[in-house]
């Protein structure tokens, strides 16, 4: 097969949301390289250097975003989409994380089962495991939120889900939008653990029967609802063509110039914050602290740079008016300003 190289970077932490008990172990975390390529046979975009044997999700993997009111609003929007297309149907959520969205759907009246090896709670409807056909679960609908980007050979994975479900049912897929990443030069959105990078056009080629699709969360995510039995290996067509920006990392030096000589804090100790800290470290920019509203991250250390994560109250108390607060996601800017009384210099990455 022929591949077109789009972007390369080295030495990224393997798991961006894995938390560490001390600075030293966080700095020593496993690392890997990224060579983002486009397969010119099927049009897929993925990290050609990805090694799935390096990936292990456990209870130290903390990726719950629902502590944010803004993100809860997004999940409520997704619930409305699910309700429109899956009303009265039994559901399986593959990769349900800590179970917040699953339980949101339960409260909305859905009969639903979840699967995730990183689950920590006591919900009897959630299986702490990876998806496998031997679980013998069959439902009317499948939910796949922010899971497929982590899976090597996504067509084979979707095919296994379809076969386990008797090649019937409807599937909801939600993933980051690669078009948004390219258009916004969002270098903080390219991670090692994201092996795949999708555009809406990819799913329009993967499924022949689509009921609904679109962009959500300010365009950062895309979703599609399709007949799972219409899954197919896609062929290349004009929809696969796109131009990856040559100046993808162009604002790195500008951000480094803003940050040098100041007290700098990151708001957002998840994947974007980990990657931002990684690049700032390479630019010799000192980041004093990371603030995150997820209690499971607080007091722990982020992968790669080993910066300690503070609660909003603790982190804000260390700052003085005029300090620079790097906001990892523009969607949260107004929420962060409100939580911090709008007293700092906010730089959206």
For 255-301, the pLDDT digits (tens) are: 999 888 888 999 999 999 999 999 999 999 999 899 999 999 999 99
| Strand residues in the chain grouped as ranges (E) | 3-13, 31-39, 45-47, 91-94, 112-115, 126-127, 141-145, 170-176, 196-197, 210-216, 221-227, 264-267, 289-291, 309-310, 324-327, 345-348
| Domains of the chain, CATH where assigned | 1-250 (3.40.50.150), 252-348 (3.40.50.720)
pLDDT value at position 236?
A: 76
pTM for this entry: 0.94
128-140: average pLDDT? 93
Q: Is there a contact between 145 and 98 (Cβ–Cβ < 8 Å)?
A: no
The helix/strand/coil state of 30 is coil
Confidence tier at 237 by pLDDT (50, 70, 90)? confident
pLDDT value at position 238?
A: 67
87-101: average pLDDT? 95
Per-residue pLDDT tens for 195-222?
Answer: 999 999 999 999 999 999 999 999 999 9
Of the chain, the percentage scoring pLDDT greater than 70 comes to: 99
pLDDT at residue 179 above 70?
Answer: yes
What strands, in cross-sheet order, belong to the sheet with 91-94?
A: 126-127, 112-115, 91-94, 141-145, 170-176, 221-227, 210-216
pLDDT value at position 234?
A: 83
108-113: average pLDDT? 96
Q: How far apart are CA 178 and CA 182, in angstroms?
A: 6
pLDDT value at position 258?
A: 87
Query: Which one is predicted more confidently, 12 or 237?
Result: 12
310-328: average pLDDT? 92
Tally of CB atoms within 10 A around 7: 18
Per-residue pLDDT tens for 76-86?
Answer: 999 999 999 99
pLDDT at residue 249 above 80?
Answer: yes
Q: Is there a contact between 93 and 125 (Cβ–Cβ < 8 Å)?
A: no
Average pLDDT, the chain: 94
Q: How far apart are CA 108 and CA 84, in angstroms?
A: 12
């Amino acid at each position: 097969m022929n591949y077109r190289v789009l972007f390369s970077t080295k030495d990224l932490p393997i798991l961006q949301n894995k938390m560490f008990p001390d600075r030293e172990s966080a700095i020593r975390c496993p690392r890997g390289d990224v060579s983002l390529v486009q397969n010119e046979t099927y049009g897929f975009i993925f990290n050609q250097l990805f090694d799935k044997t390096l990936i292990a999700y456990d209870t130290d993997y903390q990726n719950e975003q629902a502590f944010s009111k803004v993100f809860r609003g997004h999940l409520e929007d997704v619930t409305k989409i699910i309700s429109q297309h899956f009303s009265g149907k039994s559901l399986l959520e593959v990769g349900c994380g800590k179970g917040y969205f699953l339980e949101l759907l339960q409260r909305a009246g859905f009969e639903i089962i979840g699967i995730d090896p990183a689950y920590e709670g006591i919900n009897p409807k959630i299986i702490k495991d990876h998806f496998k056909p031997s679980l013998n679960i069959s439902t009317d609908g499948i939910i796949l939120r922010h899971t497929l980007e982590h899976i090597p050979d996504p067509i084979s994975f979707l095919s296994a889900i379809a076969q386990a479900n008797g090649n019937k049912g409807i599937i909801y897929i939600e993933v980051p939008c690669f078009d948004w990443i390219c258009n916004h030069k969002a270098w903080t959105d390219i991670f090692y653990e994201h092996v795949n990078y999708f555009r809406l056009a990819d799913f329009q080629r993967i499924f022949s029967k689509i009921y609904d699709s679109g962009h959500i969360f300010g365009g950062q995510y895309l979703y599609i609802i399709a007949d799972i039995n219409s899954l197919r290996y896609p062929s290349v067509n004009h929809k696969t063509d796109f131009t990856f920006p040559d100046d993808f990392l162009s604002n790195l030096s500008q951000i480094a110039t803003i940050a040098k000589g100041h007290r700098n804090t990151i708001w957002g100790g998840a994947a974007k914050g980990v990657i931002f800290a990684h690049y700032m470290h390479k630019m010799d920019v000192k980041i004093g602290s990371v603030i995150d509203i997820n209690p499971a991250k607080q007091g722990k250390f982020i992968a790669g740079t080993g910066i300690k994560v503070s609660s909003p109250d603790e982190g804000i108390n260390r700052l003085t008016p005029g300090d620079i607060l790097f906001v990892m996601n523009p969607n949260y800017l107004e929420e962060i300003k409100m939580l911090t009384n709008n007293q700092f210099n906010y730089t959206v990455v």
